[in-house]
A and B are shown apart, each in its own frame.
Chain A
Amino acid sequence: MRPHCGSSRNRAARPTRELAGSLRERVLDALATVYDPELDEPITELGFVTCCEVGADGDVAVRLRLPTSQCAPNFAFLMAADARDAVRGLPGVRTVGVVLEDHMTDDEINAAVARDGRFADAFPGETRGELHALRDVFRRKALVARQAGVCQALLVTGATPEAVTSLRVVDLPEDAEVRRCLHLRAALGIACDADAAAFVLADGRPVAAAELERWLRMAWLVRTSLESNGGLCRALLERRSGLEEVAV
């Protein structure tokens, strides 16, 4: 029998009481590499994965639910398609079904994702191209926002603008935030080898000492925007989940 998530929602999509290395755990790990392109946070941490079922034959069923039915269709499509692609390549997985639920364009998106289609297949005639450019706009925002945090942390320890802007990638601390920055740089085609500048503008040019203050001020605003959007999404999703629990 094929696995299915049925109508039960808000089942914690976390690998609790599972054998290490079980297929479901690996599927969840793969889903954790799928980021909300607008917020640059994993969909698993945002609580968007409401169900993840793995059948004995390797058939995987995933359900996604966004904070509102009105979330932007392009980002919604990206998350559903990315989830499909992330799980599909895993050893032991035979089929993958990803379903976006309770969204204003769920019919269009689910049909396209199921038949392995592109965004233009979901909305024929309503797009000019695919979503690469859109995704890159938000990767640049995320890079700017995350670098601001890393940079600020160095400045509060007393580092001067000259010192900070002369740092190389190899000088940066090895933490998750820096790893994400480098991942974004690689995805954007911005140099990220050990000798590359530690802090770059959105277009990839190194930040100069003289422009550091202004860059940080702008970067901090981008960070505030991403964080507060994430906060708003979480608040709305909590409410949505709460309502469901009452209704069940």
Chain B
Amino acid sequence: MKRIPNEEDCDFCPAFPAKECLSDNVVPLSQFKPGEKGVVFQACGDSELRLRLMEMGFVRGSEVKVVKHAPLKDPLEFVIRGYHVSLRKEEAAHILMEKPHGRFDEVT
């Protein structure tokens, strides 16, 4: 599948987020709004960030819900696999989400 970023891209992410893996059905988690839910497609970024995110449960198929912004809009709070975690927008931008059908229809 062409949308799986190959490893060179993932290690350096030079053109992120303007990459082909972001086409059509994939959106970065940073664009989600509080209350919205989605399913993880792929965590990107350098090896350390990517592995850390995956170890915290951001693996393909995990459901993520955006709970809220911090009072100053950044970082964000998410619920994943039954626990709450906070990421900066910067990190959330490295988590590619499957675009829900009829985008963001369900929620809260």
Q: Do A and B bind each other?
A: no
